[in-house]
Structure 1
């Protein structure tokens, strides 16, 4: 007789053991990117940056699908700044009426970036002679412009130049430029953002210290200034060139100082040509850049020399044809 097979009780399939996810060490913290590190170090060296300049700085690392390759939108920039601020790396405040926000590193931000600078509160920057926000904005604009043209150029900030300097009582320190640029070919350029009028004699002394360096400063402590000038002719500072960026009125003032030093034989023609006086605000077109260069060449008399050389060359060609 047929006996049906006894049914085996159904068993539930063995369920896989749920995976346990280990909590990341950086859970709850924003991811830190190469762009973050680059931008925060840049800001730390420069004391601070305004939001519109930060758009250009962050634009060097545009995100996926970015519309532009040299800047990012204001909203995207504010998102980055908000993340930094939440991590306690930066301070963000509107320091100018109706102007964009300024951003600067907190003590924590400086430590995180490995920068050993003393904390500087930008809200107090206006109290320091020659270091107001307008001047800082100009220096940042100049640095951004130079780095856009020469990405491999190395910028040494005024903050880095100042670090470690100790002024003893009664001691005079060598004039410190607003920045120094070392180009890939080794050319070293001192940068000056000259936005206010100096006394003529004071400006001449700054120019000579930038041209002649420590040797001139040392001789000024040993002799009177005129003797120091006579003994320092031929000395050379580490700077191959000195670039002054200035508004129109100040440019005339700097050029007159350069002309006086050349006219009384304090400096040579070659030394005068090491001082280049450029526009600020910066040129916005190739035409303005050409006009800027022509303006300084005319002040040095270089255009006249070029025209004379062209005339002599033309005469030489004519003589050979005859």
Structure 2
């Protein structure tokens, strides 16, 4: 199979976020059904993509096979992360929102941030954001998506870790409505932390 540039772009998009749903592929690449399904079925047939239905009554997800991931520098997903399933999908939705609002910025995924940190020999120390928004004027904003409230000590540790990262100018938290007031309270004395409703 000869891959088109769009095929490559779709594979790269999926791999940056571990996995995604068909609706997110359609949104990213301006595709409509049944064309989107035709493209994905072709990539599945070529053993580049795996489709799996994780929860009954919900869209299945697409992720790269080892063969598909071999075309890129991020590894294939070894197993579906059930514990952070909704969190990962929420990150993609925030990515779309932020790239629409800030088209001049570059998005760096959590997977890439981890890879860069390990490549520098830093290892697993320290907190890594869900994404990083990098602006042309040398401004970096860490993006966090919170669906549930973290413990106070853990949250304090994360806040302090960010305070020492001088290259990050702000942290934008996108929180579920249930935890929004608590997060606003936790961050009220830190002007570099902005709390938004998810």
Q: Fold-level match, TM-score > 0.5? A: yes
Where do 5+ consecutive residues of structure 2 fail to align? none
Residue 141 of structure 1: CA displacement? Answer: 0.6
Q: Deviations over 1:23-48 (max 9, x none)?
A: xxxxxx2x422222222112111111
| CA deviation profile, 1:264-304 (whole Å, cap 9, x unmatched) | xxxxxxxx222111111xxxxxxxxxxxxxxxxxxxxxxxx
Higher relative CO (Cα under 8 Å, sequence separation at least 6) belongs to: 2
Q: Post-superposition shift, 1:184?
A: 2.7
Looking at structure 1, the residues matched to 104 and 23 of structure 2 have their Cα atoms a distance apart, in angstroms, of 23
Q: Is 1:99–2:61 an aligned residue pair? A: no
Q: How does 1:104-183 map to 2 (within 5 A)?
A: 104-112=63-71, 114-115=72-73, 117-123=74-80, 125-126=81-82, 132-163=84-115, 165=118, 173-183=125-135
Higher strand share: 2
Identify if the C-alpha distance between structure 1 residues 172 and 50 changes in structure 2 by more than 3 Å, giving closer, same or farther.
closer
Post-superposition offset of 1:249: 2.4
Where does residue 302 of structure 1 map in the other structure?
none
What's the counterpart of residue 274 of structure 1? 192
1:249 lines up with 2:178 in the alignment: yes
1:37: which partner in 2?
A: 8
Give structure 1 stretches of 5+ with no counterpart.
1-28, 60-71, 214-236, 263-271, 281-322
Which consecutive segments of 4 or more residues in structure 1 shift more than 6 A?
A: none
TM-score by length of structure 2 reads 0.90
Name the TM-score, length of structure 1 as normaliser. 0.57
- CA shift, 1:97, in A, is 1.4
Are the counterparts in 2 of residues 88 and 109 from structure 1 also a CA contact under 8 Å? yes
Instruction: Give the aligned length.
Output: 195
Please identify which structure carries the higher helix content: 1
Determine the C-alpha separation between the residues in 1 that align with 2:19 and 2:89: 9
- Whether the 8 Å CA contact 1:104–1:122 is kept in 2: the answer is no
Select the residue among 28, 36, 59 that pairs with 1:57.
Answer: 28
Change (3 A) 1:172 1:144: closer
- Partners of 2:139 and 2:167 within 8 A in 1: no
Q: 1:1-322 alignment to 2 at 5 Å?
A: 29=1, 31-59=2-30, 72-112=31-71, 114-115=72-73, 117-123=74-80, 125-126=81-82, 132-163=84-115, 165=118, 173-213=125-165, 237-259=166-188, 262=189, 272-280=190-198
